[in-house]
Amino acid sequence: MTRLFRIAIDGPAASGKSTTAKQLARLLGFRYIDSGAMYRSVTLKCMTMHLDPLVQRDEVAKVAQSLDIQFPDLGLVSNDGKDVTKLLRQESITRSIAPIASNPLVRQAMADKQRLMAQTLDDRYAGYLYRGRCTQGVIMDGRDIGTVILPDAELKIFLVADLKARAERRFKELKGHDGLEQIMKDIEARDLADRTRTVGPLKKASDAVELDNSHLSLDQQVQQIQQWVHQRLDLMQASP
């Protein structure tokens, strides 16, 4: 009998959520949903339409509602059938995303899409065989997955890392296109915006487990989370 196991991974900007989630998805054979990429997708679309997110809030919301965002394969993102994976990592997107991500109508549109994805079994993903039982699953990362989108997720992770470690990761990701000091300032500004927005602010769910990965390798992070998955699966199997 196949069952659905949902993992919610939250944390601040550049804390390694997407990288960790993708590696974990490969290991477990789970579907990966990058909620941050969904907001980046809306931001990219609004930028190409030259919409002002502070002035044209309703138009931005309509974009969020109508945009067809898909994850055709692990790590890939498409908007209305067009591959936009590389475009979404531009620093111009990072600097423009805050007013779009804080728009309540945008967040509602994204939440509806995310919840639908998270409750749908996808036969493209084999799932995880553990103690003779196959578990299919979904891994979703973002800022409010464990608190708002999937408050009943089987496992909630809150990733943290110090500012310098996060800035260095983003610096490598951008291949030096922006200076380290500027990236640190951008991350601090994003942190403030994420924590103080009125809708879906960044915060740790009361039942989430915290993982500080400032000095952990990717493999170490994934191994720790896999242990937590095993613990939760053992509890599920023990329950009637």
pLDDT tops 90 at residue 8: yes
Using CB atoms within 10 Å of the CB of residue 161, give its burial: 0 to 12 exposed, 13 to 18 middle, 19+ buried: buried
Q: How far is CA 232 from CA 123, 128, 156, in A?
A: 23, 13, 11
- The Cα 113–Cα 71 span in angstroms is 12
pTM of the model: 0.92
Please report where in the chains the tokens 């959520």 appear, as a residue: 17
210 or 239, which is more confident: 210
User: Among residues of the chain, what percentage have pLDDT more than 70?
Assistant: 98
Domain locations in the chain as residue ranges: 3-238
Provide the 3-class DSSP secondary structure of residue 124. Answer: coil
Task: Give tens-digit pLDDT for 53-62.
Answer: 999 999 999 9
Q: What is the mean pLDDT of residues 186-215?
A: 93
Domain 3-238 listed as CATH 3.60.15.10: no
> What residues form DSSP beta bridges with 134?
129
Provide the 3-class DSSP secondary structure of residue 78. Answer: strand
**CA angle (191 as vertex; 148, 229 as ends), nearest 5:** 50
- The answer to whether 14 and 187 are in contact (CB under 8 A) is yes
The per-type count for the chain, helices as H runs and strands as E runs, is: 9, 9
pLDDT band per the 50, 70, 90 thresholds, residue 176: low
Q: What is the mean pLDDT of residues 218-234?
A: 97
- The Cα 160–Cα 151 span in angstroms is 19
Q: What was the pLDDT predicted at 198?
A: 87
Q: Which H or E element spans position 223? A: helix 218-238
Task: Give tens-digit pLDDT for 105-156.
Answer: 999 999 999 999 998 878 889 999 999 999 999 999 999 999 999 999 999 9
Question: 33-65 in b/e burial notation, b at 16+ Cβ within 10 A?
Answer: bbbbbbbbbbbbbbbeeebebeeebeebbebbe
